[in-house]
Amino acid sequence: MRRLVTLILLAALLATSPAVVAGPRRPPLILVNGFLFGPALTWGIGQRTSDGSYIPLRGSSLFNALLQEGYVPGESLFIFEPSGDYVAAAPDFLAFAAEVRRRTGADRVDVVTHGSGALVVRYAALEEDPRIRALVMLAPPNHGTFLASALYAAAITERCLELDPRQRARLRDPDYVFDLSDPVPYIWRRAEAIYQPAFRRYLVEVEFVPSPLAAAVGRGLAFEHWLAQQEIYEENILRAQEPLSQDGKPSEFTAAYYDLLAVIVARTAFMREIAGTEKGGVIGALSRPRVPAGDLKQVLYDYLLQVVRLYANRLWQLLQHRGASLLAVEAARLAGIEGDGPAVRRLVQEEVAFPVGRDGAGREIFDIVKANHFLAEWNRRSWETAAGEGSGKPLKSAIVAGRAYDLFGEVARGVGHNDRFVEVEATFRRPHLDDHFFVYEHPFAATFLGLTRQPGVIEYVLGHLRDIFPSRLTLEVGARRPWSRTIDGSASFLAPVYYRFTGQASLQGLTFTVKADEGGPPGSRVALWAYAEGPWGVELVGRTEGSDVVTLTGLRLPPGAEGLIVGVRALHPDLAPATLHLFEGKVRPFQLTAVMESPLPAGDLEAEEAAPEEDVVVLPQPVETQPAFIEVIRKSRMTTRKREDRTYHVRWEWDFGDGTVSVDDDPAHTRVQVTHTFPSPGRYVVRATSYSNEGRPLRRKEWTVEVSPGDLVRTFYVETVEEPRVELELKGPMLWVTGRPANFQVVPHITAPPHAERVTYRCYPSDEFTVVWNKPGTFTVRAAVTVKTNYVFPDQRITTWNTYVVTREVKVATTSISD
């Protein structure tokens, strides 16, 4: 009995054990956390046991999901915890990745980073190729610095300003030797010697310039922008990306970083000198040394009351929202700085007018966006270096940014701002063709640490690790010549779309053409590229780009190539971190045509002859296909009993939370933008629900908005599912005889709709089938295709099944008559 129970338990355990993804062996995965939070908090790892295994945390976390996915810590899953800063940690990471490859025998590794962990990997890639297949960066501060830097900057600034005159005089000595283990004296010296005079020069040349000619600039220029145009900036910041050295030992940070701190110190010192010694934030309150004249007891009482009120307010906010970013913001506030992004972001920032389109009269329409010149420039240079042949550029990188709504009011205003701009800015100046950007929106959870806990983000990460080039459709190229296929698609600016072509004997000589329609901002381009796919991985075999029509031809496939992956994406020269939001949701519709026109070269003909004679067959995506040929002996009037069954959007229902509801019954309105005026200031929860033709909710979206007295109008944008465009063709005879098999073929032409991550289909009774009639008459041959569409929205995944029917009339005569 006990054995039986044990067996049952074992069977149950096996049945519930984590599913291991089938398919080719996956590269090992390295998780790289940032400097601010350790791996346990970042990845949701519970407890590490003495034998090196982990007891995962309860609830949703990326680490748990990886275990479920079949990753085994120590065998296929590794954690790299950087220390120091990204410059110091980069060599350690390279050594770690090499050791993982050696231990697992893998050629490449996959890497998932969080926060500043991305900087470690990027910096390492500048030095040496870490052989990364897929790099997924969660909330990477590629375009800014991290909060730790901001805290560090604040602390350094305060200490610099507290240096007394005697110390300062000593530091002015040209022979003074700086000990970089404490960078404060060095930074102060740089601030005083270089950046304070620069700030004064800026004031004279820009702010108070007495010449009328200077007014022609139209408006003032920010100090940081002015500085970015000076030689000292080029020399001391832009190019000084190496650590300072002292006695042959490198300093903790790069020379540029110390100088960036010196810029902050210089400006703060200058302003304090003019405005007095007032400091903001808690640190200001606590560090104000002079007690005002008056009743000391009363002063102390007021002071304590002020501090208690401040902390009580923060605590209340923390208890209310419990957001991880809020904690970080609190830490920043305690240090006396604002939590609305990294310090460096504040350094160089300006506003530019960016063209976003044209109005009806053909005139350009602009949007005002923020731009950060210094960091954009640094990032551009970094990636240019890294993107060369044989460099550390991964095959594909994906960036996940969080966008939390700015719900936190005055106290933690920075949370939403930080997530929106810092993490969305975590992009490159111009994306590489295979780069993906994913902005996860959630009112509370899209925070810095919250990202690794969200099912939508976890699924996105796993998807990238499972399939490096997830294709919309797989087409098998048959042996017959000529052959062509046309696919309708939409090219996004934020992610490529892939199509996979298989058919080993037939791929040489394929020509691909993309014809893109108008769309996106003026100056948009379209890119088309192809990878050969084989047991050795993938290899780029061609790429091209142009304004609207591009063609790839003469592709040379390496030996052993089993398939071609063709990528299409929209490009724009001004797609940059600060302008990313302008490209969200914008697409360029296109037609991809694959043509095999010319006969194959002589050498390939032999292989072609050996291939079975078959026409073009579009392979269904699911594995569960029926056998290709089914003999259907007609007994009823129908070949399949499948009926047309479609699901599509018909109705929007809006609830604005202020007692106003509205309904939009136009089925064509799958993407809507609604502007609503709220009756009074306050916090409102706005809900939009899309209903299907069957009356079921298809998509729900919810916003929480803070409406202020001067700004009662809000605009909401939402999309729901669009039905895929499906055209069916049933190939077969129209005249036939009894007793002989008639062959039929179902050919569906499917256009994937927007947000469709995957479109698969299944044919009924099969994609090819045979019918035999045993009596004469006129019959209707009926076939059906069920299309399964997986839609992915940032906050929701939706799957629809639509069945479409195609028929063909066949006149069947008796054999005696036909004979």
Partner 1 sequence: MRRIVPLFILLLPLAALWMRPSAAVDQRLVVYVRESGSHLLREAVLRSDIQPSAVFDADTGTLVLREGPVPGGQVLAVFEVSNLGLLLESRLIGLTPPAALGITKPLVLLADGKPHEVDSAARLLEGDVEIMSVEGQVVVLKYGGRLLELGPGEAFVEVYVLDEEGRRVVTSAADIEAALDAGLAITRLAIENLGMVEVVSR
Residues that bind partner 1 (CB under 8 A): 200, 202-220, 222-223, 267-268, 270-276, 278-280, 338, 346, 351-353, 359, 361, 363-368, 410-411, 413
Q: Which of 434, 442, 480 is nearest to 134 (CA)?
A: 434
Nearer to partner 1, 95 or 407 (CB): 407
Nearer to partner 1, 178 or 223 (CB): 223
For the beta carbon of residue 179, count every other beta carbon within 10 angstroms.
10
Distance of closest approach, residue 794 Cβ to partner 1, in angstroms: 25
- Please give the structure tokens belonging to residue 149: 């830097």
Nearer to partner 1, 286 or 296 (CB): 286
d(CA 536, CA 308): 64
d(CA 685, CA 191): 48
d(CA 471, CA 369): 34
Q: Which of 647, 671, 619 is nearest to 724 (CA)?
A: 647
d(CA 640, CA 466): 36
For the beta carbon of residue 709, count every other beta carbon within 10 angstroms.
8
Distance of closest approach, residue 202 Cβ to partner 1, in angstroms: 7
Cα 423 to chain centroid distance, Å, stands at 10
Distance of closest approach, residue 207 Cβ to partner 1, in angstroms: 5
Dihedral of the alpha carbons of 220, 224, 230, 231, in degrees to the nearest 10: 180
Sign of CA dihedral 224, 227, 232, 233: positive
Nearer to partner 1, 214 or 628 (CB): 214
Q: Which of 519, 487, 725 is nearest to 592 (CA)?
A: 487
For the beta carbon of residue 369, count every other beta carbon within 10 angstroms.
19
Q: Tell me the C-alpha to C-alpha distance, in Å, between residue 751 and each of 53, 650, 796.
A: 47, 20, 22
d(CA 686, CA 704): 6
Q: Are strands 132-138 and 109-114 parallel, antiparallel or unpaired?
A: parallel
Q: Are strands 483-492 and 587-596 parallel, antiparallel or unpaired?
A: antiparallel
Cis preceding-peptide flag for 482 (omega within 30 of 0): yes
Distance of closest approach, residue 223 Cβ to partner 1, in angstroms: 5
Distance of closest approach, residue 365 Cβ to partner 1, in angstroms: 5
Asked whether 139 and 146 are in contact (CB, 8 A), the reply is no
Nearer to partner 1, 225 or 396 (CB): 225
Distance of closest approach, residue 142 Cβ to partner 1, in angstroms: 23
d(CA 475, CA 471): 10
Nearer to partner 1, 196 or 236 (CB): 196
Buried b (16+ CB within 10 A) or exposed e, 189-228: bbbbebbbebbeebeeebeeeeeeeeeeeeeebebbbbbb
- Please give the structure tokens belonging to residue 211: 């010449």
d(CA 83, CA 90): 10
Nearer to partner 1, 200 or 637 (CB): 200
Nearer to partner 1, 351 or 727 (CB): 351
Nearer to partner 1, 346 or 485 (CB): 346
For the beta carbon of residue 267, count every other beta carbon within 10 angstroms.
21
Distance of closest approach, residue 150 Cβ to partner 1, in angstroms: 12
Asked whether 622 and 760 are in contact (CB, 8 A), the reply is yes
Nearer to partner 1, 294 or 360 (CB): 360
Dihedral of the alpha carbons of 246, 251, 254, 260, in degrees to the nearest 10: -90
For the beta carbon of residue 74, count every other beta carbon within 10 angstroms.
12
Asked whether 479 and 608 are in contact (CB, 8 A), the reply is yes
Nearer to partner 1, 25 or 219 (CB): 219
DSSP letter string over 564-597?
EEEEEEEE-TT--GGGHHHHTT-EEEEEEEEEE-
Contacts of 556-562 spanning 24+ positions with Cβ under 8 A: 556/508, 557/507, 557/508, 557/532, 558/532, 558/534, 560/534, 560/535, 560/536, 561/504, 561/507, 561/532, 561/533, 561/534, 562/502, 562/504, 562/533, 562/534, 562/535
Distance of closest approach, residue 353 Cβ to partner 1, in angstroms: 4
Distance of closest approach, residue 547 Cβ to partner 1, in angstroms: 21
Helix (H) or strand (E) holding 189: helix 184-190
Nearer to partner 1, 358 or 641 (CB): 358
Nearer to partner 1, 222 or 672 (CB): 222
Nearer to partner 1, 220 or 697 (CB): 220
Nearer to partner 1, 206 or 331 (CB): 206
Nearer to partner 1, 73 or 414 (CB): 414
